């Protein structure tokens, strides 16, 4: 048995898994504004709850999915959405908490865990070459190449929000990255607000009925589904960006599958065929015909399953 922990922006999920990927005793706790060490303490609490649910001696390893960067060399994590986690010693904290037990602790980025989860129990089963494109508040890509997950020099592989997809640099790219500023959940909202503030291009948009300060991604997709011209412009640009980014992955890495997940896919899942059509325009022509574009099979549990798989495959 192993434990998987998935740290999200608003809550932490944990579960016990067997070697086949069957989930036992799932627990979930809201972050409720916790920062720094208080988040670490909550993770240790969740581990205790999960251990109490099984015989302690049956737990062999713990895997943790972090929404940011997990540096194997420094054993510290960076999670931009958790205050106080700029260089946080999460691995040491967990190991100290369970120091009475011979349990391995493995920590990886969320994008790594997403593709591992899909490889274990999702749409990448049997794949040796696949990519998981996670589109939520930001954009990250987990990459499986020749059976191995890529990490890079500083474990920052897959920070796809900074893909350069337009030739004219804009100042907003400094904070968000080119791709993310146009096609992440936050980027879709950003571009929508910019158009609304002009007040001239789409004066009849349904989105003017909303409080501009509180517009979210789902509002934009709701308007898009009602054929709203402003929303259509924003979403069509996002589709183009998603297609271009996927085409670049296909041309560079020749994957068998590209899997789309994260909160935006969700409402954007019905656009996957349109994204593939856009990618066809840009990608290496043989590779693009060898790849399938599919939605995540695991949805919001991809990181949790990935953390479980990370634990299961941890070194002895």
List phi, psi (to 5°) of 174: -60, -35
What's the confidence (pLDDT) of residue 291? 98
282-311: pLDDT as tens digits: 999 999 999 999 999 999 999 999 999 999
> Is 27 in a helix, a strand, or coil?
strand
What's the confidence (pLDDT) of residue 181? 95
Question: Is pLDDT above 80 for 315?
Answer: no
Q: Tell me the C-alpha distance between 137 and 124, whole Å.
A: 24
Q: What is the mean pLDDT of the chain?
A: 93
Encoded tokens for 259: 């899997």
53-70: pLDDT as tens digits: 765 568 889 999 999 999
The residue to which tokens 């899909």 are assigned: 118
What's the confidence (pLDDT) of residue 73? 86
Question: Average pLDDT in the 83-103 region?
Answer: 89
What's the confidence (pLDDT) of residue 9? 83
224-252: pLDDT as tens digits: 999 999 999 999 999 999 999 999 999 99
Q: Tell me the C-alpha distance between 5 and 13, whole Å.
A: 6
117-130: pLDDT as tens digits: 999 999 999 999 99
List phi, psi (to 5°) of 259: -110, 130
Q: Is the peptide bond before 266 cis (omega within 30 degrees of 0)?
A: yes
15-35: pLDDT as tens digits: 999 999 999 889 999 999 999
User: Dihedral sign, CA of 188, 194, 198, 201?
Assistant: negative
Q: Between helices 229-253 and 185-198, what is the axis angle to 10°?
A: 140
Q: Tell me the C-alpha distance between 191 and 97, whole Å.
A: 45
List phi, psi (to 5°) of 218: -65, -30
160-207: pLDDT as tens digits: 999 999 999 988 898 889 999 999 999 999 999 999 998 888 889 999
What's the confidence (pLDDT) of residue 176? 84
Q: Tell me the C-alpha distance between 210 and 127, whole Å.
A: 44
| Position 147 confidence tier, pLDDT thresholds 50, 70, 90 | very high
Question: Average pLDDT in the 254-280 region?
Answer: 97
Q: Tell me the C-alpha distance between 46 and 26, whole Å.
A: 10
Q: Tell me the C-alpha distance between 150 and 88, whole Å.
A: 23
Q: Tell me the C-alpha distance between 11 and 3, whole Å.
A: 17
Distances from the Cα of 145 to the Cα of 241, 309, 310, angstroms: 23, 17, 16
Question: Is pLDDT above 80 for 103?
Answer: yes
What's the confidence (pLDDT) of residue 54? 65
How many other C-beta atoms are found inside a 10 Å radius of the C-beta of residue 21?
A: 16
CB-based contact 59:104 (threshold 8 Å): no
Distances from the Cα of 260 to the Cα of 30, 147, 179, 203, 235, angstroms: 25, 19, 15, 33, 16
CB-based contact 295:167 (threshold 8 Å): no
């Amino acid at each position: 048995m192993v434990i998987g922990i998935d740290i999200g922006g608003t809550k932490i999920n944990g579960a016990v898994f067997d070697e086949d990927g069957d989930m036992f005793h799932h627990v979930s706790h809201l972050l409720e504004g916790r920062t720094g060490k208080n988040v670490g303490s909550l993770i240790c609490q969740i581990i205790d709850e999960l251990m109490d649910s099984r015989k302690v001696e049956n737990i062999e390893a713990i895997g943790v999915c972090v929404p940011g960067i997990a540096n194997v060399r420094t054993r510290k994590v960076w999670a931009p959405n958790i205050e106080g986690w700029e260089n946080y010693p999460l691995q040491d904290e967990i190991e100290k908490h369970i120091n009475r037990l011979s349990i391995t602790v493995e920590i990886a980025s969320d994008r790594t865990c997403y593709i591992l989860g899909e490889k274990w129990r999702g749409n990448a089963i049997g794949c040796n070459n696949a990519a998981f494109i996670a589109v939520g508040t930001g954009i990250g890509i987990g990459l499986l190449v020749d059976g191995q997950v890529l990490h890079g020099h500083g474990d920052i592989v897959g920070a796809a929000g900074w893909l350069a997809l337009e030739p004219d640099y804009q100042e907003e790219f400094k904070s968000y990255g080119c791709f993310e500023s146009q096609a992440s959940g936050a980027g879709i909202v950003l571009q929508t607000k910019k158009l609304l503030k002009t007040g001239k291009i789409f004066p009849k948009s349904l989105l003017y009925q909303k409080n501009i300060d509180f517009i979210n991604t789902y509002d934009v997709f709701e308007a898009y589904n009602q054929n709203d011209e402003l929303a259509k412009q924003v979403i069509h640009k996002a589709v183009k960006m998603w297609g271009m980014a996927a085409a670049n992955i296909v041309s560079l890495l020749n994957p068998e599958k590209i899997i789309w997940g994260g909160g935006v896919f969700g409402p954007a899942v019905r656009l996957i065929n349109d994204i593939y059509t856009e990618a066809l325009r840009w990608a290496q022509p043989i590779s693009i015909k060898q790849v399938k574009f599919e939605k995540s099979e695991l949805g919001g549990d991809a990181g949790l399953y990935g953390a479980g798989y990370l634990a299961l495959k941890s070194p002895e």
